[in-house]
């Protein structure tokens, strides 16, 4: 049942800024799985994170959920969405068992991953950092959200949208490396 709900959340979503959309997904899952009781973190995409898809840290000002722009560029929302749910479980464990270090192999953690339909470990290959391939800018199509890694600044329209619907959507800058 969660599966259908999740799909719907993504489909009805109209955010085009990835950070807004990530925030929106967090809110939806917070309601669906946690009765809105999880504290809302700051969510940000990092262009430096390449070892993992996401992380959660606790600062004086609150939690920070960091998502890897590299993973997102390579694998898109399917992976980023699962990463958000995974990090939310870390957040829940932090809040519920503040004196314990609940790790990935903990039964409670594994169980919640099952319930929330996300993986305990990243199941896709680690992407090569863009630096090695010379990518400097990543653009996003505001309509279909396809990401375009580029070595130079560009102005242009999403070729995929033109091909599929004939609509011209100008790509906007998502990340600078």
Task: Name the residues that contact Zn ion, by CB under 5 A.
Answer: 141, 143-144, 158, 160-161
**160: which 2 tokens?**
């995929």
Judged by CB, which is closer to Zn ion: 23, or 147?
Answer: 147
Tally Cβ neighbours within 10 Å of residue 41: 20
CB 132, min distance to Zn ion, A: 25
Judged by CB, which is closer to Zn ion: 74, or 169?
Answer: 169
Beta carbons of 45 and 69 less than 8 angstroms apart: yes
**Residue owning tokens 């990092």:** 46
Judged by CB, which is closer to Zn ion: 107, or 132?
Answer: 107
Judged by CB, which is closer to Zn ion: 6, or 141?
Answer: 141
CB 162, min distance to Zn ion, A: 8
CB 100, min distance to Zn ion, A: 15
Q: Are strands 62-68 and 42-46 parallel, antiparallel or unpaired?
A: parallel
Judged by CB, which is closer to Zn ion: 70, or 158?
Answer: 158
CB 161, min distance to Zn ion, A: 3
Kindly tell me the burial class for residue 90, based on how many C-beta atoms sit within 10 Å of its own C-beta (0-12, 13-18, 19 or more): buried
- Report, in angstroms and rounded to the nearest whole number, the Rg of the chain calculated over CA atoms: 17
CB 146, min distance to Zn ion, A: 5
Q: What one-character DSSP code corresponds to residue 143?
A: T
């Amino acid at each position: 049942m969660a599966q259908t709900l999740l799909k719907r959340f993504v489909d009805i979503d109209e955010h085009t800024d990835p950070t807004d959309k990530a925030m929106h997904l967090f809110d939806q899952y917070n309601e669906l799985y946690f009765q809105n009781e999880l504290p809302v973190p700051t969510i940000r995409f990092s262009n430096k994170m390449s070892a993992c898809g996401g992380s959660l840290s606790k600062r004086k000002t609150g939690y920070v959920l960091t998502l890897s722009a590299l993973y997102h560029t390579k694998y898109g929302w399917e992976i980023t969405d699962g990463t958000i749910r995974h990090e939310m479980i870390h957040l829940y464990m932090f809040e519920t068992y503040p004196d314990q270090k609940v790790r990935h192999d903990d039964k409670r953690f594994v169980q919640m991953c099952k319930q929330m339909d996300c993986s305990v470990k990243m199941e896709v290959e680690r992407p090569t950092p863009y630096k090695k391939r010379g990518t400097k800018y990543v653009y996003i199509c505001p309509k279909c959200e396809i990401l375009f890694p580029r070595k130079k600044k560009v102005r242009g329209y999403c070729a995929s949208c033109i091909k599929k619907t004939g609509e011209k959507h100008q790509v906007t800058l998502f990340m600078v490396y």
